[in-house]
Amino acid sequence: MRIYCPICGERDSGEFTYGGDATVHRPAMDETDAEAWCQYVYNRENRRGPMLEYWHHTQGCRAWLVLERDTVTHKILSQPRLVGPWADEPKGNPPIDSGSDTGSAERERVSEPVGAE
Ligand SMILES: [Zn+2]
C-alpha cells in the first residue's frame, strides 16, 4: 500500500504507523463519567469498508495525517490531510482528484490526535 504524505509525497506504507480511528473523540478532561472514558479508551468499531484513520509518518516528516481507507480493499479513498501543528505546512500536488466525493465518513468531525502537539 502506498500513502501520499502532503509534505513528503507518495511513500510506502511501511514508513507510516497506524494511529487508529479518527472519529473517536476524547472526553473533556473534567469528565468524571467512567463509562465515557471506558468507551474512549477501549471500545472501537471493527468497521468493514470506508473508515477515517490517523496515520503517523514515523519514518518521514513525523506528521500526522487523516485519510479515509477502505478496510477491505486498502484503497485510500480521500486525499490525506495533515492534522495538528503540521496542518499549516506547504502541501504538494494531491494524488487524488480533490473534486471527488470522499464518502460519508469524511463529513464526520475529526479531532486532533492525542500527543500531536
Ligand atoms: Zn511525510
Using the mean position of ligand 1's atoms as its centre, give its distance from the Cα of residue 34 in Å: 37
Per-residue pLDDT, 69: 96
Using the mean position of ligand 1's atoms as its centre, give its distance from the Cα of residue 37 in Å: 31
What are the structural domains, with CATH classification, of the chain? Answer: 2-27+35-105 (3.30.2270.10)
Q: Which residues contact 12 (CB under 8 A, 6 or more apart)?
A: 1, 2, 3
Using the mean position of ligand 1's atoms as its centre, give its distance from the Cα of residue 31 in Å: 34
Using the mean position of ligand 1's atoms as its centre, give its distance from the Cα of residue 57 in Å: 5
Alpha-helical runs (H) found in the chain: 34-42
30 grid coordinates: 473534567
Using the mean position of ligand 1's atoms as its centre, give its distance from the Cα of residue 71 in Å: 22
CA distance 89 to 81: 11
* pTM summary value: 0.70
Are 69 and 44 contacting, i.e. CB atoms less than 8 angstroms apart? no
Per-residue pLDDT, 84: 80
> Terminal CA-to-CA distance of the chain, rounded, Å?
27
- Residue matched to cell numbers 490517523: 54
Per-residue pLDDT, 114: 56
Per-residue pLDDT, 89: 54
Q: What is the pLDDT along the chain (117 residues), one digit of tens a residue?
A: 999 999 999 999 999 999 999 999 899 999 999 999 999 999 988 889 999 999 999 999 999 999 999 999 999 999 999 998 777 655 554 444 444 444 444 444 455 565 554
Q: Up-side HSE of residue 14: CA atoms within 13 Å toward CB?
A: 1
Per-residue pLDDT, 49: 96
Using the mean position of ligand 1's atoms as its centre, give its distance from the Cα of residue 90 in Å: 11
Using the mean position of ligand 1's atoms as its centre, give its distance from the Cα of residue 115 in Å: 17
113 grid coordinates: 490526535
Using the mean position of ligand 1's atoms as its centre, give its distance from the Cα of residue 39 in Å: 31
Using the mean position of ligand 1's atoms as its centre, give its distance from the Cα of residue 35 in Å: 36
